[in-house]
Chain A
Amino acid sequence: MIRTLDLLTRGAFLGLAMFAILAHLLLLLGTTVPGWPLPVLLALGWGAANWTAQPLATARPHGQQHSRTRTRAIVALTILVITGTTWILALGATDTPSRFWDGLVTWDVRAKFLTLTPTLEQGYFRDPAVYAHSRDYPVLQPLLIALGNRTLGGEFGRLLFPLLYLLSTATIASTLLRARVRTEIATLAALAFAITPMLVNPTSGGADSGYGELFLTTAMLGAGAGILTRQPIQLAASLVLVVAAKPEGLLYALLPATVAFAHGDRRLCYAGVLGWTIGALAWLPVQYDLNHFGATPPAMLWFGICGVATLALGLVHGCERLGVTPRTRQRCVLVGAPLALLALPLLAGVLGSLGGTLTTYFGESDRAWERLPRLFSVLLGLADHALIRLRFVFAYWAVLLAAMMLWLRRRERPTANALGALLVLGAVTTFVPFLLSPEDDLEHHLRSTMSRLLLHWLGIAWLFVGWALNSAWPDRTTNNHPAGAPIDDPRIGSVLDTHDGGHAIAQPDA
């Protein structure tokens, strides 16, 4: 069953990514996107996941009967809760269209038009005189819903939301199990994710609200899973979806490659750059097409994306050739990340000319500089929404505790945790919209946006907490191998657990 779950989740990410690439290509070519490639590509994804699967060694409940009974009870409770919640979310998604502002205005409208004709060659997208609220927002989610509506009838395309909820909870459990985290901890982490109020409440940004938040959360979780289990294909496929899910995905998708670079994991770094590049090559030309009512994207756009990718790959290759240590790379990232943030206004000249959402954020080059004094208020807002308002209950408290615990244990077992680093970079990126958005009312902006930004990182947060918990109570049946490395990995003690770029064999816990 665990193997099936693992194959289903990894195959789903791969199949969806392949569909995203194909769908964007067809949209750019001005043709109709048929429904049949979706199940075909999902089946292909599952086949590929099966073909590339490594033997799965998971931790098992050990020892006494009461331990096994406890594990079974936790698993049964979790399956029951997730089934019930999925049912409620399915009702919320399909009984009515979106019941919240952005769901109706930003996402549902485009799904309605794409349901009638799944192509951009129609007046709503092509005629500048026709009012379109978010014309250049990502189209993958509305397209998936539209194809579902066309196949199943009514609003049943919105079953995408409960399915994404299922995919994300299953991904947490299967990833942690694949990382050889104990079954009860992996299940508990999936349960903890699945009942988070911000995710399951009937609220703006909730799972069935019609927003793009669940899609982005799931895609980011897929990327986190790729990092934790060191699967380049999973990482690259998830990053394609991250870019295609929401505008902020373009920025988020750079972070896993950055983390892999900092930890000296060349394979994951290449996969991260490849995923971002494919995602950007698929989505940005379509976004340009939408902004300019069908105009052909300029060569500068293609060259720009390929140029960024070439620079990144060259940097990684150069560091490999020069033997730059992970410690030096981490320092480079620590210095480089804030510099990149401060350099955002410089991108205005390049991205501002592309129009639409990008211009909205990057169009005024001085805005970010003028708003630097806001940073402290944004930090307070971040803490308020993550830790005090209880929309995430104790999820981010658990992340802080897990980070402290791993910090205290660093002498016993050196742990450079890539997921932790990803969460730190994620926290930094939450500042970006508040520096660049045209919204001047910071309080209103924090209230309407911060919880949704935090939701994007929730899946990775629970992967991190589950993995940290397991490191405190390692599985005794396989304690020669740290969590995070497949048992047949020749480099057991991967970069997630060592400071030396993954070339040393990790020692068992003291």
Chain B
Amino acid sequence: MNPNAKRLATGLLGLVVVHALWGLLRLPSRVAARRLSEIAQYREHGAVNYFLGATGKREDGGAAAVDWLLENSAPNAVVLWRGETKGAFELASGLLAPRWLVHRNHVSTAAREYRGRPLAGDARGIAVLVGAGERVELEFR
């Protein structure tokens, strides 16, 4: 075999062994411990606060609005929305599933349901989730 190729092959084998050892050494801390810590944090704060709450360095993304909707609407409810879809609203849509999110312009102001599903709200009126960039808010109509 070409001596340069032989040296490269030996180097390659060494590199693969170092790669494997490096990976093995970091498994307990970076893979297991960090993952378990994330799981514990998720469970401690709950899904909504984990994504939208003011936990750690994160700004409050409007967790209270999503929490209110989860507590005060059935899973088959329809949540009206308006505003920006980018940012916190995307997360809110995931957290609120399987509720449908329907833009408020598609539903008349007098309506109390949409396609046979109840609209989320209370005595104050029908709830509207407002996407406002890095946070979501709740208003009633």
The interface of chain A, by Cβ under 8 A from chain B, is 81, 84-85, 88, 91-92, 95-97, 99, 101, 104-105, 108-109, 112-113, 116, 123-124, 127, 129-131, 133, 188-189, 191-192, 194-197, 200-202, 208, 393-395, 397-398, 401-402, 404-405, 408-409, 411-412, 465, 468-469, 472-473, 509-510
By a CB distance below 8 angstroms, the chain A residues around B38 are 92, 99, 202
By a CB distance below 8 angstroms, the chain B residues around A91 are 35-36, 39
By a CB distance below 8 angstroms, the chain B residues around A105 are 90-91, 93-94
A189 to B12, CA, bound (A): 12
A95 to B36, CA, bound (A): 10
By a CB distance below 8 angstroms, the chain A residues around B103 are 129, 131
Decide: B16 and A197 in contact? CB cutoff 8 A: no
Decide: B42 and A99 in contact? CB cutoff 8 A: yes
**Nearest chain A CB to B83 CB, angstrom units:** 12
Q: How many A-B residue pairs have CB under 8 A?
A: 151
Question: Which of the residues A96, A189, A404, A409 comes within 8 Å of B39, measured between beta carbons?
Answer: A96
Decide: B17 and A108 in contact? CB cutoff 8 A: no
Question: Which of the residues B18, B97, B106 comes within 8 Å of A394, measured between beta carbons?
Answer: B18
The interface of chain B, by Cβ under 8 A from chain A, is 1-2, 4-6, 8-9, 11-13, 15-20, 22-24, 26-27, 30-32, 34-36, 38-39, 42-43, 47, 50-51, 81, 85, 90-91, 93-95, 97-98, 100-103, 106, 115
* Residues of B contacting A: mostly: helix
By a CB distance below 8 angstroms, the chain B residues around A127 are 100, 102, 115
A202 to B36, CA, bound (A): 9
Decide: B9 and A397 in contact? CB cutoff 8 A: no
Decide: B15 and A401 in contact? CB cutoff 8 A: yes
Given A188-B17, A394-B19, A401-B11, A96 and B31 contact (CB-CB distance below 8 Å): no
* Residues of A contacting B: mostly: helix
**Nearest chain B CB to A356 CB, angstrom units:** 15
Given A95-B39, A393-B22, A394-B19, A405 and B8 contact (CB-CB distance below 8 Å): yes
- What 9 A-B pairs are tightest by C-beta distance, nearest first? A195-B23, A472-B9, A131-B101, A408-B5, A104-B94, A405-B8, A394-B19, A202-B35, A129-B106
Question: Which of the residues A88, A101, A202 comes within 8 Å of B90, measured between beta carbons?
Answer: A101
Given A104-B91, A401-B8, A113 and B98 contact (CB-CB distance below 8 Å): yes
Given A191-B20, A398-B12, A472-B5, A88 and B43 contact (CB-CB distance below 8 Å): no
Identity of the chain A residue whose Cβ is nearest the Cβ of B106 in the assembled complex: A129
A131 to B47, CA, bound (A): 20
A selection of 24 A-B contacts at a CB cut-off of 8 Å is A81-B24, A88-B32, A88-B36, A91-B39, A96-B43, A108-B94, A124-B98, A129-B106, A131-B100, A133-B93, A191-B20, A194-B23, A195-B26, A197-B26, A202-B35, A393-B22, A394-B22, A398-B12, A401-B15, A404-B8, A408-B4, A468-B12, A469-B13, A510-B1
Decide: A469 and B93 in contact? CB cutoff 8 A: no
**Nearest chain A CB to B105 CB, angstrom units:** 9
A97 to B42, CA, bound (A): 9
By a CB distance below 8 angstroms, the chain A residues around B32 are 88
Decide: A192 and B102 in contact? CB cutoff 8 A: no
**Nearest chain A CB to B87 CB, angstrom units:** 10
A202 to B22, CA, bound (A): 17
A197 to B22, CA, bound (A): 10
Given A91-B36, A131-B102, A469-B16, A101 and B8 contact (CB-CB distance below 8 Å): no
In the complex, besides A130-B101, A401-B8, A472-B13, 13 extra interface pairs with C-beta distance below 8 angstroms are A101-B91, A105-B90, A116-B98, A127-B115, A131-B81, A131-B93, A133-B93, A195-B20, A196-B23, A405-B8, A412-B1, A472-B6, A509-B1
Most buried by B among A88, A116, A129: A129
By a CB distance below 8 angstroms, the chain A residues around B6 are 472
Question: Which of the residues A84, A104, A208, A412 comes within 8 Å of B27, measured between beta carbons?
Answer: A84
Identity of the chain A residue whose Cβ is nearest the Cβ of B36 in the assembled complex: A91
Decide: B2 and A412 in contact? CB cutoff 8 A: yes
**Nearest chain A CB to B37 CB, angstrom units:** 9
Decide: A473 and B9 in contact? CB cutoff 8 A: yes
Identity of the chain A residue whose Cβ is nearest the Cβ of B30 in the assembled complex: A201
A200 to B26, CA, bound (A): 11
Decide: A405 and B93 in contact? CB cutoff 8 A: no
Decide: A195 and B102 in contact? CB cutoff 8 A: no
By a CB distance below 8 angstroms, the chain A residues around B100 are 123-124, 127, 130-131
By a CB distance below 8 angstroms, the chain A residues around B4 are 408
**Nearest chain B CB to A85 CB, angstrom units:** 7
Decide: A104 and B95 in contact? CB cutoff 8 A: yes
**Nearest chain A CB to B51 CB, angstrom units:** 7
**Nearest chain A CB to B126 CB, angstrom units:** 15
Identity of the chain B residue whose Cβ is nearest the Cβ of A202 in the assembled complex: B35
